[in-house]
Amino acid sequence: MQLRDTIGGALERRLNDGTFRRRIEPIDLYISIASLCFFYHSNAHTMSVIFQRELMAESEIERRRSHIVEMVMGYLVTD
């Protein structure tokens, strides 16, 4: 499985150099990131109405991307 190996290799390198705090299952990480992205995009129109904010605007998408990166890195990176 090439995707798992690619993600796994990156995770392993960062584990070995002390950047990441523990061994992470590559498929679990991928599913978590994909879920965070999919939910936002699949529900953006409904949430835009609920929250009265245009969530598909470029600035909102960038804000969401930054939030996801911060969440994932907070999970991965050592203190």
pTM over 0.95: no
* Residue found under tokens 């965070």: 36
Give the pLDDT of residue 6.
96
CA distances from 68 to 5, 12, 21, 32 (A): 22, 21, 18, 10
Residues 6+ apart with CB under 8 A from 79: 21
Encode pLDDT of 31-77 as tens digits.
999 999 999 999 999 999 999 999 999 999 999 999 999 999 999 99
Handedness of CA 41, 43, 45, 50 (dihedral sign): negative
Domain boundaries, the chain: 2-76
Give the pLDDT of residue 53.
97
Confidence tier at 17 by pLDDT (50, 70, 90): very high
Confidence tier at 12 by pLDDT (50, 70, 90): very high
Q: Which two tokens stand for residue 8?
A: 């796994």
